[in-house]
């Protein structure tokens, strides 16, 4: 099996899974309980929080645990809308945001908020000057992803941060789900960024757990109300085994990235050059300012899902441009925003790499791809 779908989800690290199992077995207390078992559980919870904060070089009181990236995005957008409604009702997002941001913004529109869409250029990068032109006195939030999950474009967060320096009261949120451990942190967590959302299963942690970065001093209303967990900001008993396993997975992931910083970039470049040698192949992902783990391409007149299933028959697993939309057969919103013609956009397939992938796998992928390409050519 060759697994090239790491942007959809990653396999949990064995050490993180071991941490999950041991924590489940040994730490039975509720972190909110006053007795010793609760104190033991809470101590472990705070240790995990501190470790994640140290890995991101932020404060422990700026880390809040969630069920994943989707909840994090929902919380930040809706929490900002509720907390800052008296100051304004205008939100700006980019045209290439993940559905967790895009659909949340649409729901806020239904509730009376105004949403503006910042366009991207033909390479998929947010046009900073056009975003700046959308800012109004009533703007309360700007939300732009760090790395696009479909094309791999590293968005100009630093340049947007410079624009927003003039507007300190506007919340700046970055969906960093595809960025952490893949792209240098300085590119997506600038001092101007107020909020960021993360998901553990994108960096070999368990599913159903994540966290947000919430800059101290910024206002955000709770999304979940109840028992007062997470300093009263996110009610529900914390998923302690998953949180502890997530903190360990993040540490391992960042260590592996530091050991082999260019590993996925080398494999990606090999695949890109090999694919470009085929006349009917279009490579949508560029080189400069693109993440080293995502490569999106298509074969002319071959729908993406056809190629996905043909590769699957050979035990090679890739996806169409987004795992969240591929099963629904929804066309790539990013390619649409890039003004790629519909018939070309429907050919898109995404390869997403990880440090566990090898050059031998990439070479085998190209052997199989060549066979399928010839087969499709004969059919056409």
Burial of residue 157, with CB atoms counted within 10 A of its CB: 0-12 exposed, 13-18 middle, 19 or more buried: buried
| Pairing, β 316-317 against β 294-299 | unpaired
d(CA 68, CA 207): 8
Which residues are bridge partners to 316 per DSSP?
Answer: 2
Strands (E), the chain: 2-3, 63-66, 90-94, 114-118, 139-143, 171-175, 195-199, 210-214, 281-283, 294-299, 316-317, 349-352
Which residues are bridge partners to 65 per DSSP?
Answer: 211
Which of 141, 148, 136 lies closest to 92, judged by CA?
A: 141
Contacts of 129 (CB under 8 A, 6+ apart): none
Which of 22, 322, 68, 357 lies closest to 206, judged by CA?
A: 68
Identified catalytic residue from 265, 310, 324, 356: 324
Residue 324: active-site member:
yes
d(CA 80, CA 100): 15
301 phi-psi bin (left φ>0, alpha ψ -120 to 50, beta other): left
Q: ∠ CA 149-61-159 to the nearest 5 degrees?
A: 40
d(CA 371, CA 349): 17
Q: ∠ CA 80-82-87 to the nearest 5 degrees?
A: 80
CB 100 within 8 Å of CB 93: no
| Catalytic machinery residues | 324
């Amino acid at each position: 099996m060759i697994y090239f779908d790491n942007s959809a989800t990653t396999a949990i690290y064995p050490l993180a899974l071991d941490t999950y199992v041991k924590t489940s077995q040994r730490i039975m207390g509720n972190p909110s309980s006053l007795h010793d078992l609760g104190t033991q559980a809470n101590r472990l919870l705070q240790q995990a929080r501190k470790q994640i904060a140290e890995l991101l070089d932020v404060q422990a009181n700026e880390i809040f645990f969630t069920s994943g990236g989707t909840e994090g995005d929902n919380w930040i957008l809706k929490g900002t809308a509720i907390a800052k409604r008296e100051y304004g009702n205008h939100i700006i997002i980019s045209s290439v945001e993940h559905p967790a941001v895009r659909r949340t913004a649409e729901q806020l529109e239904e509730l009376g908020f105004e949403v503006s869409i910042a366009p991207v250029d033909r390479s998929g990068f947010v046009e900073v000057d056009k975003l700046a032109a959308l800012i109004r006195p009533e703007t309360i939030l700007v939300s732009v992803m760090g790395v696009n999950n479909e094309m791999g474009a590293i968005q100009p967060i630093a340049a947007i941060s410079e624009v927003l320096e003039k507007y300190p009261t506007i919340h700046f949120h970055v969906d960093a789900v595809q960025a952490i451990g893949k792209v240098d942190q300085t590119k997506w967590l600038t001092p101007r960024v107020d909020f960021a959302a993360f998901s553990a299963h994108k960096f070999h942690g368990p599913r159903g757990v994540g966290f947000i970065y919430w800059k101290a001093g910024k206002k955000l209303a709770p999304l979940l109300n109840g028992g007062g967990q997470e300093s009263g900001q996110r009610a529900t008993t914390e998923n302690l085994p998953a949180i502890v396993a997530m903190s360990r997975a993040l540490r391992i992931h960042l260590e592996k990235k530091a050991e082999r910083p260019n590993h996925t970039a080398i494999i990606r470049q090999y695949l890109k050059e090999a694919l470009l040698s085929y006349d009917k192949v279009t490579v949508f992902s560029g080189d400069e300012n693109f993440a080293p783990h995502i490569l999106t391409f298509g074969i002319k007149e071959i729908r993406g899902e056809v190629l996905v299933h043909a590769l699957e028959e050979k035990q090679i697993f890739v996806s169409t441009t987004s795992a969240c939309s591929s099963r629904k057969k929804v066309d790539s919103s990013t390619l649409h925003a890039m003004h790629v013609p519909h018939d070309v956009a429907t050919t898109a397939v995404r390869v997403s790499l990880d440090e566990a992938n090898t050059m031998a796998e990439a070479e085998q992928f190209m052997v199989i791809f060549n066979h399928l390409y010839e087969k499709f050519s004969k059919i056409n």
